[in-house]
């Protein structure tokens, strides 16, 4: 059930139609030929590493950045060249951007005041929004008397009172500590679900993306890599980048030689599905990128023909969960890179086990992968094969 703001819900989908943005002085586009449809009322998360073009994507929708090619639609309206004030959107930034000399109530109602809305109407909308956000007791305070989480809720309240067609949120939680970030993450997701307003949310934190979004659009180097539900991106990443970016700990990925239908991992080997070897042959690849999630592996016996060996470098006992990190062994020797010796766990193979099964640092263990959950990619294209 949607929260009532005593206003008519305006249908507003968002569409990027082959949109490109090239900043002056650059030859490479920051956003390149983006095609993305966001449904009315959907919570779409744009995620990717710093500098990938996700904030530029948001700012073009807001009218803060010029579109060099393509068109942007809000509902049926082409807003590509419209002024920001005519787009009926509201933005929430990471730095709150509150007026320090104004009370919470005045901050929340300021845009309505500028628009000439009557005072009694402003007060009604502010109080209604404050009730939704649990800010009623704070309406007379100044921003300096608020915590970071309260300030962010005020910034959201300022957006909500306007009852826009679309909410745009640009990394709104990045200034909060970890505990408050997790708490506010849940509040924003529930609020959006109840209000039913189309929302585009930018973050570089894939945990935020997986826990908040109806769908996730993964962007890298200005290009859309994949768009889908959190479960789709986690269980069937379309390419190597998405596979490595989505999930924590991240997916184990390595490039290995293929011979006679088997992929060699260290001094062990694993059978590949026939369909995969046929596709590799078509790509003229003699190697394959194999990925597996930490939870898709288990310990195996030393004589298991579908296993490989791991030298344990580090272990983590997290209470309910445990993780072992190690180097794949080849002919009795491990790939002792500087990063693995220094404990860079991003370079190590991660296995999730129950804490009572945790091996000791220095142990050699045999690992078997659940073949039904292996992720296989072509080295030449990075695209999914299975």
What pLDDT is recorded for position 337? 42
Going by C-beta distance under 8 Å and a sequence separation of 6 or more, which residues neighbour residue 26? none
What pLDDT is recorded for position 343? 43
What pLDDT is recorded for position 178? 79
What pLDDT is recorded for position 1? 40
Please compute the mean of the pLDDT values over residues 239-245 and round it to a whole number: 95
What pLDDT is recorded for position 162? 86
- Report the percent of the chain where pLDDT is more than 70: 92
Which of 302, 306, 295, 304 lies closest to 350 in space, CA to CA?
295
What pLDDT is recorded for position 168? 94
What pLDDT is recorded for position 342? 38
What pLDDT is recorded for position 339? 37
Average pLDDT, the chain: 88
Distance from the Cα of residue 268 to its chain's centroid:
34
pLDDT tens digit sequence for 84-98: 989 999 988 877 788
pLDDT tens digit sequence for 32-67: 999 999 999 999 999 999 999 999 999 999 999 999
What pLDDT is recorded for position 284? 66
DSSP state, residue 137: G
Is the per-residue pLDDT at 135 higher than 80?
yes
Going by pLDDT thresholds of 50, 70 and 90, the confidence category of residue 294 is very high
- Are 377 and 240 in contact, with CB atoms under 8 Å apart? yes
Going by C-beta distance under 8 Å and a sequence separation of 6 or more, which residues neighbour residue 164? 88, 89, 90, 197
CA angle 26, 73, 203 (to 5 degrees): 60
pLDDT tens digit sequence for 336-371: 443 334 344 567 999 999 988 899 999 999 999 988
What pLDDT is recorded for position 364? 94
What pLDDT is recorded for position 141? 94
Considering only CA atoms, give the Rg of the chain: 25
Residue that wins the pLDDT comparison between 209 and 283: 209
Is the per-residue pLDDT at 373 higher than 70?
yes
Residue 150 CB-half CA count within 13 A: 16
- Are 318 and 324 in contact, with CB atoms under 8 Å apart? no
What pLDDT is recorded for position 315? 93
Is the per-residue pLDDT at 273 higher than 50?
yes
pLDDT tens digit sequence for 296-305: 999 999 899 9
Give the chain's domains with CATH numbers: 14-244 (3.40.50.300), 252-377 (2.40.50.140)
b/e per residue 56-69 (b: at least 16 CB within 10 A): bbbbbbbbebebeb
Going by pLDDT thresholds of 50, 70 and 90, the confidence category of residue 275 is confident
Q: How many CB atoms lie within 10 A of CB 384?
A: 20
Q: Find tokens 């995969």 and name the residue.
A: 276
Distance, CA of 199 to CA of 219 (rounded, Å): 17
């Amino acid at each position: 059930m949607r929260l009532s703001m005593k206003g008519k819900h305006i249908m507003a989908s968002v569409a990027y139609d082959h949109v490109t943005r090239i900043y002056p002085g650059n030859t490479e586009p920051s956003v390149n030929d983006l095609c993305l449809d966001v449904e009315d009322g959907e919570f779409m998360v744009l995620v990717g590493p710093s500098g990938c073009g996700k904030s530029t994507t948001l700012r073009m929708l807001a009218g803060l950045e010029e579109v060099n090619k393509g068109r942007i639609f809000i509902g049926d309206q082409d807003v590509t060249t419209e002024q920001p004030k005519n787009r009926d959107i509201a933005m929430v930034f990471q730095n709150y951007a509150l007026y320090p000399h104004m009370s919470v109530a005045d901050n929340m109602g300021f845009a309505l005041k500028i628009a000439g809305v009557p005072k009694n109407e402003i007060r009604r909308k502010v109080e209604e929004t404050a009730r939704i956000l649990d800010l009623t007791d704070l309406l007379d305070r100044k921003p300096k008397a608020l915590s970071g989480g309260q300030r962010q809720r005020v910034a959201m309240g300022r957006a909500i009172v306007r009852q826009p067609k679309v909410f745009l949120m640009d990394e709104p939680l990045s200034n909060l500590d970890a505990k408050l970030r997790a708490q506010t993450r849940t509040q924003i997701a529930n609020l959006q679900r109840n209000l039913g307003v189309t929302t585009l949310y930018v973050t570089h934190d894939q945990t935020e993306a997986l826990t908040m979004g109806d769908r996730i659009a993964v962007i890298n180097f200005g290009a859309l890599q994949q768009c889908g539900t959190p479960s789709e991106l986690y269980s069937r990443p379309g390419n190597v980048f998405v596979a490595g970016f989505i999930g924590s700990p991240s997916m184990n990925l390595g490039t290995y030689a293929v011979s006679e239908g088997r992929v060699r991992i260290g001094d062990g080997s694993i059978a590949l599905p026939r369909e995969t070897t046929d596709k590799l042959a078509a790509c003229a690849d003699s190697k394959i990128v194999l990925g597996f999630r930490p939870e898709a592996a288990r310990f195996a016996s030393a004589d298991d023909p579908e296993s490989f060996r791991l030298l344990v470098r580090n272990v983590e006992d997290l209470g309910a969960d445990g993780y072992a990190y190690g180097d794949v062994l080849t002919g009795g020797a491990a790939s002792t890179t500087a990063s693995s010796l220094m404990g860079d766990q991003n370079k190590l193979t991660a296995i999730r086990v129950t804490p009572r099964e945790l091996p000791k640092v220095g142990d050699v263990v045999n690992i078997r992968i659940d073949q039904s959950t292996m992720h296989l990619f072509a080295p030449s294209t990075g695209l999914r094969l299975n």
